[in-house]
Chains A and B, each alone.
Chain A
Amino acid sequence: MRYRNPSIPEGINTSKVHPLREFALRSLGALVLIGVLALTLGYFGGQLSRWLVSVETEARWGESLREKFEETETPLPLRSYLDSLDARIEAVMPLPAGMHVKLLYNADDTVNAFATLGGTIILYRGLLEKIPHENALAMLIAHEMAHAESRDPIVSIGSAIGIQTAVSLLLSGTDAAPLQDAGLFTQLAFSRDMEQAADLAALQALEAIYGHVNGAVDLFRVIQSERRDGGNGEPPAFLSTHPLDAKRIETIKRIARERGWQRGQPTTPLPAQFRAWLNIKVGSPPERE
Chain B
Amino acid sequence: MGDILIFLTLLALGYGFGQYAEKKHYRSLIEREQILNGLPAIASRIPPADVFYDQQLVIGNVVISVDYFKRFLAALRNLFGGRVTSYETLLDRARREALLRMKEQAQSMGAKLVFNVKYETSSISKGRKNAIGSVEILAYGTALIPPRNG
Residues on A facing B (Cβ under 8 Å): 1, 3-5, 7, 10, 13-15, 17, 19-20, 22-23, 26-27, 29-30, 33, 170, 173-176, 178, 181, 235-236, 239
Asked if A4 and B73 sit within 8 Å, CB to CB, the answer is no
In the complex, A1 Cα to B50 Cα: how many Å? 9
Of the A-B pairs whose beta carbons lie under 8 Å apart in the complex, a sample of 16, sorted by A's number, is A4-B40, A7-B33, A10-B26, A13-B92, A14-B89, A14-B92, A15-B83, A15-B88, A19-B69, A26-B80, A30-B79, A174-B78, A175-B130, A176-B79, A178-B7, A181-B3
Using CB atoms, name the residue of chain B closest to A17: B85
**In the complex, B98 has a CB within 8 A of chain A:** no
**In the complex, B113 has a CB within 8 A of chain A:** yes
Asked if B4 and A5 sit within 8 Å, CB to CB, the answer is no
**In the complex, B41 has a CB within 8 A of chain A:** yes
Partner of B73, one of A14, A19, A178, A181: A19
Asked if B48 and A26 sit within 8 Å, CB to CB, the answer is no
In the complex, A110 Cα to B135 Cα: how many Å? 53
Asked if B86 and A19 sit within 8 Å, CB to CB, the answer is yes
Partner of A26, one of B73, B88, B89: B73
In the complex, A78 Cα to B113 Cα: how many Å? 96
**In the complex, B1 has a CB within 8 A of chain A:** yes
- Distance (Å) between the CB of B118 and the closest chain A CB? 16
Asked if A10 and B30 sit within 8 Å, CB to CB, the answer is yes
Using CB atoms, name the residue of chain B closest to A239: B1
Asked whether A176 and B86 contact (CB < 8 A) given A1-B48, A5-B37, the answer is no
Work out how many contacts link A and B, with CB atoms closer than 8 A: 78
* B residues 1-32 touching A (CB-CB < 8 Å): 1, 3-4, 7, 15, 19, 26, 30
In the complex, A178 Cα to B10 Cα: how many Å? 11
- Distance (Å) between the CB of A15 and the closest chain B CB? 4
In the complex, A174 Cα to B71 Cα: how many Å? 10
Q: CB-CB < 8 A to B73: which residues of A?
A: 19, 22-23, 26
- Distance (Å) between the CB of A194 and the closest chain B CB? 22
Q: Which 9 A-B pairs have the closest CB atoms?
A: A175-B75, A26-B76, A176-B75, A15-B85, A178-B7, A3-B40, A14-B88, A5-B40, A174-B78
Taken residue by residue from 35 to 55, chain B's Cβ proximity to chain A (1 for < 8 Å, 0 otherwise) reads as 001001110000010000000
In the complex, A10 Cα to B15 Cα: how many Å? 22
- Distance (Å) between the CB of A234 and the closest chain B CB? 12
In the complex, A7 Cα to B75 Cα: how many Å? 34
Q: CB-CB < 8 A to B33: which residues of A?
A: 7
Asked if B86 and A13 sit within 8 Å, CB to CB, the answer is no
Asked whether A19 and B15 contact (CB < 8 A) given A3-B40, A175-B74, A176-B79, the answer is yes
**In the complex, B119 has a CB within 8 A of chain A:** no
In the complex, A15 Cα to B92 Cα: how many Å? 11
- Distance (Å) between the CB of B22 and the closest chain A CB? 9
Known pairs A7-B37, A19-B69, A174-B75 / 4 extra A-B pairs, C-beta < 8 Å: A14-B92, A15-B83, A19-B70, A23-B72
Using CB atoms, name the residue of chain A closest to B115: A3
- Distance (Å) between the CB of A4 and the closest chain B CB? 6
Q: CB-CB < 8 A to B15: which residues of A?
A: 19-20
Using CB atoms, name the residue of chain B closest to A18: B85
Asked whether A3 and B88 contact (CB < 8 A) given A26-B80, A175-B75, A178-B3, the answer is no
Using CB atoms, name the residue of chain A closest to B91: A13
- Distance (Å) between the CB of A271 and the closest chain B CB? 42
In the complex, A19 Cα to B26 Cα: how many Å? 16
Residue from A5, A7, A23, A235 whose CB has the most chain B CB atoms within 10 Å = A5
In the complex, A235 Cα to B2 Cα: how many Å? 12
Asked if B79 and A33 sit within 8 Å, CB to CB, the answer is yes
**In the complex, B149 has a CB within 8 A of chain A:** no
Asked if A178 and B19 sit within 8 Å, CB to CB, the answer is no
**In the complex, B126 has a CB within 8 A of chain A:** no
Using CB atoms, name the residue of chain A closest to B34: A7
In the complex, A54 Cα to B58 Cα: how many Å? 75
Q: CB-CB < 8 A to B88: which residues of A?
A: 13-15
- Distance (Å) between the CB of B54 and the closest chain A CB? 17
- Distance (Å) between the CB of B44 and the closest chain A CB? 8
